[in-house]
Chain A
């Protein structure tokens, strides 16, 4: 297989120089290239925001839908054709703010998709307002006295909902990010990868250096199947742990529970209605 098969070649990328999105893009590309997958088998689903532009910079099928709505679309795409590898990728505002309700219910549903969230704790595309994950005290043109709402904790929420795979990475550490993304893509069921990243234009608080100082790698002795311990890690008040916090392999993916696939494994586009059976169903109404 071509090593650069997910590469778009020379293209104009709309991100700011030094943006944390760049290493995430290259790491995702490298992860996919290292797997037995072709661009033709991958659908990248995103919403709106700087992170949500990523499908335009990676060679595969894509559905760049509405703000906050990547997860419902991704769930449906996977359910319509379970043979596809489906990745839902957007920023913290998109996934945790506008799409917050879908985030909760997608975890409950557990489709076999990978959910990558670029978490820079700020709104980039709309130029610097607070996001659901902004830290208390963060001053913006809207939050002029500083954020006073409790930051959203995606990992704790995902673990509380018994998500199958919950991890956090830091965009600056491409090696660990690569390993985590690979595990997430290989997980059978919903996998959340929250990737911390600096925003060089609008977040002067959570800088590259801030992330270096306020994160640490989870100790290798951590058992990801220990939900209590995973929850403790996710709710640590001081520094943010990086790595795979929680894994639960017991849950059946959404599309495997669907009766529509019980007798017929073919994707929905290849199906025709059973008119003889419909005739019988109508006749039964006599």
Chain B
């Protein structure tokens, strides 16, 4: 072997690749937890094929002394579990990338740092333990604490037989030794400062943040049909149905799911549907129904590439216009697009309150990348906003659709008070009864649209980062936020600033001043047609001067965004 490897300090990017069924998700889950519990800031994400066995998948884990929340292209340490993974990731291997693996798996890899994971696995009881050996090797290389490692592995396999646990622990222990040995021989040198405070921070992914936010928002009814990548929110809430008193029902289709949610809100529940583009397409009529009967509704739409079935397990921000224009007829709505886990938690909770306050459908737009990405957080602000219900006890002459100044009629529910609560998908009068009186029709349309002022009054201001004298304004929505943020942090661009819209629609009035001040507005979006750009042009009258678009099915990397910013700086 050659000379000692240069020290990897500050942070490292570790990529692990293998086929479905090799347990790389297990590796991701355990390793991220072990590293975080050892005191490192951790970020982890995965890209995977739509199959249960075979193919080639990979996970990226970043380990750092500072918070890390974005995808990078470069790889410091690569661990391919088979030659297919090595081949697939070869474009990201740089001169300084260390490739660690088992020679038996990777016969044609010069300069391989040998870690005999398959041999260890065979010796402790079979190839099934290779993922445990890999966890051990990487933990050793990254100086994870042995005790934390062993406890976490035991915890992960807790529901297995003691013999199975022992075999996994043995594979991990021997892998850890191999990793340590690589360090001792100075073939790998990782020197990242640990931080004791990080050890107790929760490690949460996007799906969990959405589910926790829903609970904090008082969600007690979920009706949905499974569809990647939104299903994790459904399963998460299902696993907590008894603890938090949530009615969870897997509907026969998305049409039933949304009609159940609207019915549940009508009867006083706080209901959520979680779906992806194709499923949401079937919910259009339900959104329109909520618009007409002025029932609150919260829709979590986790985007994936379309049209049609598209790329089921990949990411895209292609459904903004679908959400914006879904449902026939004219009625107000709100669209949120959280950029971080903390924001997702807070915005989902807020969605329930705003839906209830304004009696409108509220969308939370996320995507596969966001759903499947984990990082540690300093905490979720669980008591940051109270559940606010805008329900009235009805009296005998209650009118559900009473005309009011702001268009919001006090909302009653059946059985709470003496009044009768009505809902009609036909045009209706103040009592909720079907009508074809043109005067009432016009007044009802005006009343429903008047609620937009109430919506706007509750607007979330955009996030702004940068100096006063920017020429270029980079605009993001949703999951791209931390990626652009890190690109800005790497090399502060003197003439550029970053504007992040967590409320995409209606455009918050305070976004206008930032947009109008820029010489060049550049939109970064995970889609092909610049949907946010169009929305800004339409609603703010601001021309979009440039865009960075990606629609391969993968998220942006910090490097890609950095290049765009630097190019803008040079103009």
Contact = CB atoms under 8 A, between A and B. Distances in A.
Interface of A: 14, 39-41, 43, 45, 48, 53, 55-56, 59-66, 69, 72-77, 79-81, 83-84, 101-102, 104-105, 109, 258-264, 267-275, 277-279, 281-286
Contact of B269 (A61, A269, A273, A281): A269
Interface in B260-289: 260-264, 266-271, 285-286, 289
Given A60-B420, A101-B252, A259 B264 contact: no
A282 B377 CA distance: 10
Contact of B383 (A40, A104, A275, A286): A275
A64 B424 contact: yes
A9 to B, nearest CB: 13
Given A65-B423, A275-B382, 11 more contacts: A43-B414, A56-B434, A64-B423, A64-B426, A72-B263, A76-B261, A77-B414, A260-B220, A260-B248, A281-B243, A282-B202
Contacts of A270: 268
B416 interface: yes
A120 to B, nearest CB: 20
Contacts of B92: none
A259 B242 contact: yes
Contacts of A285: 202-204, 208
A262 to B, nearest CB: 6
Contacts of A72: 223, 251, 255-257, 259-260, 263
B201 interface: yes
Interface stretch (B109-117, B211-219, B475-483, B536-544): B211-219
B413 interface: yes
B469 to A, nearest CB: 41
Contacts of A267: 267-268, 415
B406 interface: no
A64 B267 contact: no
Contacts, number: 210
Contacts of B387: 272-273
Interface residues of B, number: 72
B243 A63 contact: no
B420 A39 contact: yes
B246 A75 contact: no
23 contacts: A40-B414, A43-B267, A62-B423, A63-B263, A65-B423, A69-B259, A76-B223, A76-B269, A79-B249, A80-B264, A80-B269, A81-B267, A81-B268, A84-B415, A101-B256, A102-B252, A258-B241, A268-B267, A268-B268, A273-B244, A274-B243, A275-B382, A279-B382
B420 A269 contact: no
Nearest to B295: A63
B66 to A, nearest CB: 19
Nearest to A277: B243
Contacts of A259: 241-242
B247 interface: yes
Contacts of A65: 259, 262-263, 289, 293, 423, 425
Interface in B352-400: 379-380, 382-383, 387, 389, 391
A259 B241 CA distance: 6
A132 B218 CA distance: 41
A61 to B, nearest CB: 4
B447 to A, nearest CB: 19
A271 B263 contact: no
A77 to B, nearest CB: 4
B422 interface: yes
B558 interface: no
B264 A268 contact: yes
B200 interface: yes
**A-B pairs, 8 with minimum CB distance:** A269-B268, A73-B263, A76-B263, A80-B267, A285-B202, A105-B252, A76-B260, A268-B269
B321 interface: no
With a 10 A CB-CB cut-off, give which of B259, B293, B383 has the most chain A CB atoms.
Answer: B259
B252 to A, nearest CB: 4
Contacts of A77: 263-264, 266-267, 414
Given A45-B263, A260-B246, A80 B221 contact: yes
B252 A53 contact: no
A83 to B, nearest CB: 6
A260 B413 CA distance: 19
A48 B425 contact: yes
Contact of A64 (B382, B420, B425): B425
Given A269-B416, A286-B201, A286-B203, A66 B425 contact: yes
Nearest to B268: A269
Contacts of A104: 252
Interface in B14-48: 37
